A = this chain, B = another copy of it.
């Protein structure tokens, strides 16, 4: 690449880092790329670091030494996230979302890539320090969220199927009891989709009693995998006891009443302390 001026280099490096989250980039990569001295590159990175931190885009970690370099860790602050989720809760409380049976229509929200990117970035912030090999979800609605999260963590995605597809090869299937209606259901995961002893982050869009997530955990045992975290976008608050203890939720539907046509939504357990601080 031809020698760039500092101004052009800053634009170039910014986009390079943003598109390569959680990836260690040696300073020599930049130095060679721009035909510049490492000292100039370090100065550039200091400028980028300051803006990223000021703008709350994430951290720019610099690792010294021979194996050193720079790594971009996308992060949103809890305060920023809370503000975003509170706006989302207002949307969730629109009465015309109520469907027969007390279900809530959320597909319009889940269909907006910009919202999913924000939520994925939140999960990527929450689980940024965990050792994770793969993000897992079950079809269908959790898929976009799992990809968005994985994209910010620079990890692959594995999708558990409700049925056993010919295009997946040999698979491991389990039966599980869905928490709310006590029906026996099946889920399966392709043998080759997941290496044994993988460290897994489970992401899903909605959790009532947690039967589906509990099923995924059972399935993971068949792969000798360990669960490093569970992230749920919206949880139902109308549940006495969960089948899953340890999870992070971003929003909570406290009540959905088809009779009075009212929905109440609040920030999830991730914000527990922030909320009590406010009060």
A-side residues, CB < 8 A to B, are 4, 6-8, 10-12, 14-15, 18-19, 47-48, 50-52, 55, 57, 99-101, 103-108, 111-114, 116-117, 139-141, 143-144, 147-148, 150-151, 154-159, 161, 166-169, 190, 192-193
Contact = CB atoms under 8 A, between A and B. Distances in A.
B99 A51 contact: no
The 9 A-B residue pairs with the shortest CB-CB distance in the complex, in nearest-first order: A113-B151, A11-B51, A14-B14, A111-B157, A111-B156, A139-B140, A144-B147, A10-B10, A143-B143
A167 B108 CA distance: 12
Given A151-B117, A190-B107, A166 B100 contact: yes
Q: Which of A18, A112, A161, A167 has the most CB of B within 10 A?
A: A167
Q: State the oligomeric state as a number of copies.
A: 2
B144 A157 contact: yes
A54 to B, nearest CB: 8
A55 B158 contact: no
A12 B55 contact: yes
B14 A154 contact: no
B167 A11 contact: no
B99 A167 contact: yes
A166 B7 contact: no
B8 A7 contact: no
A70 to B, nearest CB: 14
Given A7-B7, A147-B116, A159 B55 contact: no
